[in-house]
Structure 1
């Protein structure tokens, strides 16, 4: 295994080394997989897959789940965060998962793997750090390291939720304004991240075949099972994003505190309605 490179500056809008963020990502990862109906809901059989890569794997939840479920598959997770990778390695060691490995690696740079290394390259929720101009370079790298006949698989979202809470909607609008100023948005009008409509095109442009997609929605209205975990996710994520919003000049700290508290109040009201949509797109590298 290559030595860990020093951590350089990154474009992640939340603190990638935060223990609080790591805990949030662990819970969010389980929520996403559950909402999708499993690890590979679009495939009935992965018996032809022997080596799988997860880009921006965070604390390693998806990698560890795949490694546990498919013990004959070698699964690798890469992430820029040393904190996340060290935690994931400790979890793999504790659980005796010799088929799960983790490496510190920056997804904004060329990936340190030989050509044709993986049967599946997976990436979920990169919009939190991937510049709009960085997507084509990343997909080129994914294509390079995917074996002929292998799969590139992307899962992304354009909004953190669609709700009837005015404070929630105001907060997401502020986030979009800030991410647009930071160059992290694909939508020309700045209304959302704008990545889901272009994912198929990104795969098509590198020559993928058999491109397909599957959409998911998590209902986190106040009476649903998903409300509590989504509420806790928002409590942490929307707090951690405040320094970024203030830094980008879209809001003052005092106003941010007020809007944040109002959003939490509205999310607990008995008539709170909410849906979170996300999309998986996949394509096959030609033989």
Structure 2
């Protein structure tokens, strides 16, 4: 598969990024309607779940807590965040969740047919376009017949802040220059239009889509959480944008100050659009149907 190189656009072991990912995990799960809100996604009582690029483990930990009879495994390239996730599992007394240091752009050290469900959220932040078919082929290998792959991705947020939109445009262009975008013109991340096709081409059937929208306009419940997530992200993204040559450090600092002010104005409006795509590995589902399934 792809080279063993960390292509994440923000240093995953930065303390600020760790805090941001912890908060973002909770926000996404709540705003999307739960851990597995999609129709038809169920887990066998003794099922096994793999969480790709799990970060500090928020989703995996919550799934393990809600489903004590299943086993959840999270993998991430960062040893620091895996150590944190393991510490969280110990502190909560969760013995059915385990975390391992692995690069999802390389073959994963699990036998064929190991999992009932494989989950991944916002992988665009490090995935190379050429690595997507390879990752999905690996998911196909790792899933049991009838198992489900579930992926959630996004495009740049839509807001009324000119400074923030300028920053998002720089981010899209930087990903394009870095070879980490499907966009033909660098105006978007480009992952959401192609994701359903990629899942189908990997051999999955019954591919479905579900859109989620987080409104974070001024006065809404999500405003402060997404504002905080965005501002931390903007600050941590500066080195990547400067490295890609889309803007100078001085310009980005000026935009950061403007965006901070504009996103706290009374008439500020913002939407965070997410797309979840899931598909099933063809196979006999009768065994799963007779063991007593549990819906999240």
Q: What range describes the TM-score normalised by the shorter chain of this pair? A: over 0.9
**Cross-structure match for 1:107:** 104
TM-score, normalised relative to structure 1: 0.95
Partner of 1:73: 70
Corresponding residue of 1:176:
172
The 5 Å alignment of 1:1-287 reads: 9-43=5-39, 46-48=42-44, 50-159=47-156, 161-287=157-283
SS at match of 2:28: helix
CA contact (8 A) 2:43 2:116 kept: no
Q: CA deviation at 1:9?
A: 3.6
The whole-number CA distance in structure 2 between the counterparts of 1:33 and 1:261 is 29
Structure 1 residue runs without a partner (length 5+): 1-7
Give the CA RMSD over aligned residues: 1.1
- CA 1:91–1:108: 2 relative to 1, 3 Å: same
Q: For residues 236 and 163 of structure 1, do their structure 2 counterparts lie closer, same or farther at Cα, with a shift above 3 Å needed?
A: same
- How far off its partner does 1:44 sit? 6.1
Q: Secondary structure at the match of 1:127?
A: helix
Matches of 2:231 and 2:38 in 1, distance apart?
Answer: 31
CA contact (8 A) 2:204 2:279 kept: yes
In structure 2, C-alpha distance between the alignment counterparts of 1:55 and 1:45, rounded to whole Å: 17
Name the CA distance, whole Å, in 1 between partners of 2:241 and 2:191.
20
- How far is 1:143 from its partner? 0.6
Structure 2 CA distance, aligned partners of 1:72 and 1:211? Answer: 27
3-state SS, counterpart of residue 88 of structure 2: helix
Cα distance in structure 1, aligned partners of 2:126 and 2:259: 24
CA distance in 1, matches of 2:35, 2:207: 19
Query: Does the aligned pair in 1 maintain the 2:50–2:119 contact within 8 Å?
Result: yes
Q: Deviation per CA, 1:190-218: give whole Å up to 9, x if none.
A: 11111111111111111111111110000
